[in-house]
Chains A and B, each alone.
Chain A
């Protein structure tokens, strides 16, 4: 466990989370959320939980992004609030 790597992964994770909330283009929000999940998987793997990391990488970075993308096909691309 390398605390510098953990620290910077956490910092980038928080930046990604805020960016996914703030961005107007919902397609970009889905992309940023996928990146968030991937960083989360890296963090889990670095913390010594490869099983959780594999699940997070497959579900969070793979399937959730695809499902949100499919839902996005039926809505407008820009957020209104």
Chain B
């Protein structure tokens, strides 16, 4: 274990054009704080997603927070360990799956005779119209959250050159 306090950037990364972000420096403080912070950020992000319809926030903000937690992993642990925890192809999978599920949720009311995203026409979400709209909004928030999570992590991996 070696500690470096000089620049804040990992050794060998500042100003290197092609090495990418594969190497990191190992600091006990950074590791412990990251391992403590990431689950808390994710729990708060899921809180923001699931309470999106009656408090500030929603799918987009929660998804951004989930992506930020993965980026904290990537920045603090380096590629090998963070790719083991969140493989780089999960980003595109989550983004594509979230988009697909959201599109299905939007088109499903049209099948049953409503407008696009008109949740009260989906018959199996509940008995009353209000209940159906409640569950529809909640599902849309969750799908948007996963889509934003995956898309932003994929953008980060493409930027840092780790997603090939």
Point out the residue from A27, A53, A70, A74 that lies within 8 Å of B56, measured CB to CB: A53
Chain B residues 14-31 with CB under 8 Å of chain A are 14-17, 20-21
State how many angstroms separate the Cβ of A54 from the closest Cβ of chain B: 5
Q: Which residues of B contact A (CB under 8 A)?
A: 7-9, 13-17, 20-21, 48, 56-58, 60-61, 64-65, 67-68, 71, 75, 152, 155-156, 159-160
Known interface pairs A54-B61, A58-B65, A75-B15. Does A70 touch B8 (Cβ–Cβ under 8 Å)? Answer: no
A–B complex contacts, Cβ < 8 Å, 22 sampled: A27-B7, A51-B56, A51-B57, A51-B58, A53-B56, A54-B48, A54-B57, A55-B60, A62-B68, A63-B67, A66-B68, A66-B71, A67-B156, A67-B159, A70-B21, A70-B159, A70-B160, A73-B9, A73-B14, A73-B21, A74-B16, A77-B15
Whether the Cβ atoms of B8 and A62 lie closer than 8 Å is no
The 6 closest A-B pairs by CB, nearest first: A50-B56, A58-B64, A51-B56, A62-B68, A70-B159, A54-B56
Whether the Cβ atoms of B152 and A63 lie closer than 8 Å is yes
Whether the Cβ atoms of B14 and A63 lie closer than 8 Å is no
Known interface pairs A54-B61, A58-B64, A71-B159. Does A66 touch B56 (Cβ–Cβ under 8 Å)? Answer: no
Point out the residue from B13, B48, B56 that lies within 8 Å of A73, measured CB to CB: B13
Docked Cα-Cα span, A71 to B56, in Å, equals: 31
Whether the Cβ atoms of A74 and B17 lie closer than 8 Å is yes
| 0/1 string, A16-60, CB within 8 A of B gives 1 | 000000000001000000000000000000000011011100110
Known interface pairs A27-B8, A70-B21. Does A62 touch B65 (Cβ–Cβ under 8 Å)? Answer: yes
Docked Cα-Cα span, A76 to B13, in Å, equals: 10
State how many angstroms separate the Cβ of B99 from the closest Cβ of chain A: 19
Docked Cα-Cα span, A71 to B158, in Å, equals: 11
- Residues of chain A with a CB closer than 8 A to B159's CB: 67, 70-71
Docked Cα-Cα span, A51 to B55, in Å, equals: 8
State how many angstroms separate the Cβ of A28 from the closest Cβ of chain B: 10
Q: Which residue of A lies closest to B17 (CB)?
A: A74
- Residues of chain A with a CB closer than 8 A to B75's CB: 66, 69
- Residues of chain A with a CB closer than 8 A to B60's CB: 55
